[in-house]
Structure 1
Amino acid sequence: MNFQESITIRMLYSAEELTAVKDLESLIWADEDPVPVNHSIAVVKNGGMVIGAFSGARLIGFQYSFPGFDGTNVYLCSHSMGIDPDFRKMGIGEKLKLAQREEALKMGYRRIEWTYDPLETVNGYLNLS
């Protein structure tokens, strides 16, 4: 079995899982405040989603989205995605984005708006392609 086959992607709901996301955020963006767990819980209970990528039991990536509203339509705002530095450039981000699309359609969303850091060309390429 290759590494790609051993990656599990799934929705996250529990405080324990969302705490692991907060910890991974702190590892990835040490100089920024992570999303508080109580906020993540509120998001997943109210139309948003947090999706995790796992290697075995280890959380190695996540994608975080919340509902948006433009005055007329509800959409999904794809706010952040992070991959453990030890697991980058292995296609995990693409797997998370595809899972996000699938879950968004199941939830009834017809539009997703993505944000990305324009200084991170890998992020831009992933979001635009």
Structure 2
Amino acid sequence: MTSTPQRARGGCLSLDSPDPRDPRERAAAAAERATQAAGVEIRELHSPADMFEACRLFERVWRTDSTSPLMTIELMLVLAHCGGYVVGGYEGGRMTAAAAGLLTPTGLHSHIAGVDEGSRGRDIGYALKTHQRAWCLAHDITEVTWTYDPLVGRNAWFNLAKLGAIPVEYLPNFYGRRSDGLNGDAPSDRLLVRWDLSTERVALTGEGVSHGIEPDPVVAGAEVGAGATVVGLDAGPDGRPIVGRLDGDVVLVRVPRDIETLRGTDPDSADAWRMAMRDVLGVLMAEGRAVWGFSRQGWYVVGRSPQP
């Protein structure tokens, strides 16, 4: 397996080592660069009017309505009052992104973050996360957790490769069955990730370094020897999931090409992918396997122990 980068900047630090430079200053500089590049201003929210605007944004992103809100004005006000992370991203005075998180015994849990459809593709989500990192370090918080749908490949790449987060638990049907416009009426399996802000691995992501991993020399559908690298989940010719072997030292787990479109065009196939991912990645993680990373080609790479 190969991953990028091969070494930490400076040549002698492990990616999981503490950052010898001032992490607050480094994170603040990264956040400034990211927000400027994205053309967005990120600021904390406090007033009921701010929270109303953020809640409406979440409704647009998840295609829900005010009768079944993902967040409420009251809840967001409480989160902000209790010291949580509640921010909006503004372009020309208009809120086009928002995020909210709550304090936990170990740090911050980032519960929700969204970007308006018309503002996507300009790294505003990345700007939100770099701002969140800087905010956390300024408040002496070094661990952030959040969940995402493991079937959505672009989110897997963003969270694991671009941000350097580490998957720690597979959560079957975490929120119960969802009925919003993005998820449809389906079980809400999620992957819980941990973002260790004290490490060089994460610090480098604020400087444009990604941690993608490539499953070479294995190609889709191939197996290289018993006990070596095997394909645990792949897509068949019809696009439906095919469960393979889980007994290798390294197991490759494919995600579907576009699960969000598939939920609308072929719900049965989407459900099959959900159950297959649960039966493969969920089982592997429950057995103590470690997710080493995610590749551009749409594979989770899972090993028996943390990545060396």
Larger Rg: 2
Counterpart for residue 45 of structure 1 = 81
Instruction: After TM superposition, list the pairs within 5 Å mapping 1:19-30 onto structure 2.
Output: 19-30=52-63
Q: What's the secondary structure of 2:148's corresponding residue?
A: coil
- 1:127 matched to 2:159: yes
Counterpart for residue 138 of structure 2 = 106
Counterpart for residue 76 of structure 1 = 108
Q: What's the secondary structure of 1:62's corresponding residue?
A: strand
Q: What's the secondary structure of 1:115's corresponding residue?
A: strand
Unpaired segments ≥5 residues, structure 1: none
Unpaired segments ≥5 residues, structure 2: 1-35, 163-308
Q: From 69, 72, 82, give the equivalent of 1:36.
A: 72
Q: What's the % identity of the aligned pairs?
A: 28
Counterpart for residue 48 of structure 2 = 15
RMSD, aligned CA: 1.7
Deviation at 1:114, TM superposition (A): 2.1
Query: Could you say which structure has the higher helix fraction?
Result: 1
Deviation at 1:33, TM superposition (A): 2.1
The whole-number CA distance in structure 2 between the counterparts of 1:94 and 1:43 is 22
Q: Is the 8 A contact 1:48 1:67 kept in 2?
A: yes
- 1:88 matched to 2:124: no
| Aligned residue identity for 2:113 | M
| Aligned residue identity for 1:35 | M
| Aligned residue identity for 1:115 | T
Greater mean alpha carbon deviation, residues 87-96 or residues 47-56: 47-56
TM-score (normalised: structure 2): 0.38
Q: Is the 8 A contact 1:26 1:34 kept in 2?
A: yes
Q: Is the 8 A contact 2:45 2:87 kept in 1?
A: yes
TM-score (normalised: structure 1): 0.86
- 1:97 matched to 2:129: yes
Count of residues in Structure 1 that have an aligned counterpart in Structure 2: 123
Deviation at 1:43, TM superposition (A): 0.4
Q: Give per-residue Cα distances to partners, 1:32-75, cap 9 Å, x unaligned.
A: 52211111010011121112111111100112111123xxxx31
